[in-house]
Amino acid sequence: MDVASFNRQLQDLQDRAVASIAAADSPAALEAIESAMLGRKGELKGLLGGIGQLPAEDRPKVGALANPVRTAIEQALAERRVGLEADALDARLRAEAEDVTLPGRPRWRGSLHPLRETEREIARVFGQFGFVVVDSPEVESDELNFEALNIPADHPSRDLWDTIYVREPVGRESDERLLLRTHTSPGQIRAMRGSEPPIRVLTPGRCYRYEAVDASHGFEFFQIEGLMVDEGTTLAHLRGLLDAFAHALFGADRATRFRPGYYPFTEPSVAFDIGCVVCEGEGCPACKRSGWMTILGAGMVHPVVLRNGGIDPERYQGFAFGMGTDRIAMLRYAITDIRAFLADDMRFLERL
Ligand code: DAH
């Protein structure tokens, strides 16, 4: 052995150590390499153990050659450790990465109540014919809810419409009996008294009746009233308008018909039917096997009612109609229980 041979072996040791450090893929592997090369029983120690065979003056030379080898291996270990840590961090970041390009969860923004949506749709259709929506109060006078509409105190139809009284007269002259309106028809009187013909209005809103509640009756429900007053207004205009309405809401092929009806505030009065939306006219339980469904009441405004509204029946004619918003919405959405509308059940509201 001479110095040159030690030098070759040291270089070989360094090359092998550096190559295996570069290939190591874990801190544990580095640990093993470190102890195999530089440890107390490692290769470097073993190699230097042979130094005794050299002449005394050569030994420091080998020592001087060994030091940079040790340093180079230590440095390679340190660098590889840092490299492995960075790889591990990279891998973790990749594994735990959030995809920020995924769309966020949409926020629940709410929606129109099916009754409101139906009301707006009806108003939109009649709006195309020049009808405007006006408000009319829910607390109404006996006079406007009944008397002015040609329903005197002893009229039998009051029995059907008995209602919830808010205030009974206590005898003073200015006293009025107040009640929760049983229909939106008092809106007709208010519209006639509040403006001049031509009049085309809709008065939508809540109505109340002293009613036994079931799947098709609520004590609180919704109507939309329509009124047109002008010179030369006829039943044919009413028919054309209601046909257009039925076709807009229930399809252009929907069959329609007028049947004779009775209301104290119209003469003549009609019931307006559409072909059953369930069986398309075949006959089914929903239409009581008739093939028809009544969706509203209507007629030519009674001359007495025109006069009560301050309108001259010799000069003007009018027609009026009234429909249950709940009923229309039930047909539109195939809802079978009217109580669902006001039950505040989110499952019902979200499904529509
Ligand atoms: N007010 C009626 C009701 O509550 C509905 C109605 C029928 C209104 C005929 C009208 C009409 O304007 O002409 O049942």
Q: Tens digit of pLDDT for each residue in 192-208?
A: 999 999 999 999 999 99
Q: Which of 242, 294, 302, 321 to mutate to test the pocket of ligand 1 (most atoms within 8 A of CB)?
A: 321
Expressed in angstroms and rounded, the spacing between residue 237 Cα and the centre of ligand 1 is 17
How far is ligand 1, taken at its centre, from the CA of residue 324, in Å?
A: 9
Max Cα distance, the chain (Å): 144
Alpha helices in the chain (DSSP H): 3-23, 27-38, 43-49, 59-95, 114-127, 142-145, 157-160, 186-194, 235-250, 303-308, 325-333, 346-351
pLDDT grade, residue 139 (50/70/90)?
very high
Please list the residues that pair with 204 across neighbouring strands: 224
- Residue minimizing CA distance to atom 8 of ligand 1: 322
> How many angstroms separate the CA atoms of 166 and 179, rounded?
5
| Residue-by-residue DSSP string for 89-136 | HHHHHHHT---TTSPPPPPP-----HHHHHHHHHHHHHHTTT-EE---
Q: Which two tokens stand for residue 66?
A: 């060994």
Nearest CA residue ID for atom 12, ligand 1:
321
Among 263, 296, 306, the mutation site with the greatest number of ligand 1 atoms within 8 A of its Cβ is 263
| 164 CB neighbour count, 10 Å cutoff | 15
301, 318 Cβ separation under 8 angstroms? yes
The mean pLDDT value for 223-239 works out to 98
Q: Tens digits of per-residue pLDDT, 79-133?
A: 999 999 999 999 999 999 988 888 888 888 888 999 999 999 999 999 999 999 9
Please give the pLDDT value at position 173. 63
178-196 b/e (C-beta count within 10 Å ≥ 16 → b): bbbbbbbbbbbbbbbeeee
SS3 content of the chain, % helix, strand, coil (to 5): 45, 20, 35
Q: How many angstroms is it from 201 CA to the middle of ligand 1?
A: 14
pLDDT in the model for residue 121: 97
Q: Determine if residue 28 is left, alpha or beta; phi over 0 gives left, psi from -120 to 50 gives alpha, anything else beta.
A: alpha
The CA 271 to ligand 1 mean position distance, Å, reads 9
Rounded mean pLDDT of 151-177?
Answer: 77
Residue 349 has a pLDDT of 84
Mean of the per-residue pLDDT values of the chain: 92
Taking the CA of residue 207 as reference, the ligand 1 atom at the shortest distance is: 4
Is the pLDDT at 227 greater than 90? The verdict is yes
> Ligand 1: which of 163, 183, 269 to mutate, judged by most atoms within 8 Å of the beta carbon?
183
pLDDT category at 274 given cuts 50, 70, 90 is very high
pLDDT of residue 155: 81
CA atoms of 4 and 61, how far apart (whole Å): 10
Q: What is the pLDDT of residues 16-70, one digit of tens each?
A: 999 999 999 999 999 999 999 999 999 999 998 888 888 888 888 888 999 999 9
Identity (one letter) of the amino acid at 293?
Answer: M
Contacts of 135 (CB under 8 A, 6+ apart): 203, 205
- Calculate mean pLDDT across residues 320-333: 96
Closest Cα to atom 13 of ligand 1: 298
- Ligand 1 neighbours by CB, cut-off 6 Å: 183, 185, 225, 263, 266, 297-299, 320-322
292-306: average pLDDT:
97
Residue of 251, 253, 244 lying closest to 272 (CA atoms): 244
CA of 247 to the centre of ligand 1 (A): 21
How sure is the predictor about 174, in pLDDT bands with cuts at 50, 70 and 90?
low
Degrees to nearest 5, angle at CA 196 with 121 and 127: 15
